[in-house]
Structure 1
Amino acid sequence: MTLRVGMIGAGVMGADHIRNLSGSVSGAEVTFVADLDAGRAAAAAPPNARITTDPTELINSSDVDAVVVASHDSTHAGLVLECFEAMTPVLCEKPLAPTLLESLEVVQAEADILAATGARLLSMGFMRRFDPGYVALREAVQSRSQGEPLLVHCVSRNSSAGPGSSSESAITNSAIHELDIIPWLLGSPITEVSWQAGRSSQYSSGDLKDPAVMLLRTADGALATLELFLNARYGYTTRCEVISEQGTVALPEPAALALQEDGLSRTGIPADWRPRFADAYRLQLQAWVSALNHGEPAPLATAEDGLRASQVAQAMIRSLHGDGAFTKVIY
């Protein structure tokens, strides 16, 4: 069976998904690509795929069985709702939406479809749930072989912030991964959060205070820290360590080429997230395609997972504007 996939968004993320679906994922074919930039769509599309600047045309095309939304965050909710109207399965990149109101609208719309038809159409692209390192970390934590988890330390650093980044978008677009993965690791929801920032990097601009440190407390009493640094300059880094009563467990360092020359020993650091999470993206897409081809529920994050991450993000934004005070998450 071959799932005919339409890709909305042909930027860095969309083009990477197209490469995976065309070369690394079995049972799928990219048949249609939509992007506001027709040249970018043509450059990313496979040879026989149609291209358009109108995502609505793609969603309603008879050449498409399922849709991946990898366009700008601000378009996610509207495009997902269009897929619902067409009764087309959709994989939406994080976040579900940049605002809580939009996320609630999407979740309610899918709940109505589920009640009427029994079908779930939306899968969320929280790909870290498929990363082998995070999967092993979760298994170790949930086994409680080291006792109860007490602290979680997360680090997320990018080489440079995207155009127009702000402290709010840093939460809804970048920190959103940890807002999903921390409760997934611990099996306990986040109940309150605090946002803190000190001196900003000279490379930070506009409304972005960078780096920032976020504190998150879960319902079972564990405390998590997240250092988010979008302008770290040197490359891309993701770390996570869980400290329990009788030991610690941490993500393994990804394999990197080790060089020794001119009296120095050094290893490479990726420029962005794609090399680090290549396996996670491939495994997530394969799980989604295989489930749809077999008429089974997709084992990805759900609309409700996307909503919960948005609810935590909104609490974090309230803390940001409230001088860093601990702020309760409203579910």
Structure 2
Amino acid sequence: MSKEIQIKNRTVVGVDIGGTKVNAGRVCGENLLDSYLSKIPPDAEHNAQSVIDVVIDTIAKVFTSEVEGIGVGIPSVADREKGIVYDVQNIKSWQEIHLKEILEVKFKVPVFIDNDANCFAIGQRLYGKGKEHENFVGITIGTGIGGGIINKGSLLKDSNCGAGEFGMLPYLDGILEDYCSGQFFIKKIGIEGVEILKRARNNDSDAIDIYKQFGKHLGVAIKSIMYTLDPEVIIIAGSIMSAREYFEKAIWEEIKTFAFTQSAKKIKIEWSETEGDFQVFGAAAVYLDRSSNL
């Protein structure tokens, strides 16, 4: 049975922590009331507290007495129950940060933390292209690839922080992430994706063929998701979308080889944006989703 998440007249803060910035916004319903953007400090590699201070200061800029809670999205693995952030690749000093506890002590409201791919998925469920779907997978593709699973209208609750990490599955001579993200162009082709896109737009046949290869690999990843989860729809977003016209057909060509013909015909792929403040809404959605379980 689907869980209804009430968002009307609820004011929360969503926080998107990236490798170079912290973006916080105060959200009420579907409206962004206020937002503030800060840069990650240059000493982040060896000074964990300086990053914590920036996160706190950024939240404080948008926090008011009406705020009932805070949701935080991070580009790494998080213990969702304890609110501990582990091994943030772009913030080397954040190896084990008890962020939930720190923020709850500071702001005196409940805090829920999750990885950015889960934030994207539940954000799509509440605010985006997943509104009409009970069971779907959200995939974000950039330098890496991440996934969030929506099951019966809510985020799939995993046991050990690993659900949705499709990019870690073994594939060819490595893992899927090596072939289904920006890593493919750098590791396997030896050229930055931006340069390949420029060449493709100039009708370079080799560049266009590279995108076809990429689309085939991404199609394999999508088939793996179909075999294991059988979602109604897969929602894809990320920087790779700017080149979508060059690889989307190859995705569908690969999906046609799916063992179950009717599933291959029924599966839908939606494309969404993650730019601007959408990740703030996604982080806010994590709070709204988790608090509805209390």
Structure-1-length-normalised TM-score: 0.37
Question: TM-score, length-normalised on structure 2?
Answer: 0.40
User: Which structure is larger by alpha-carbon Rg, 1 or 2?
Assistant: 1
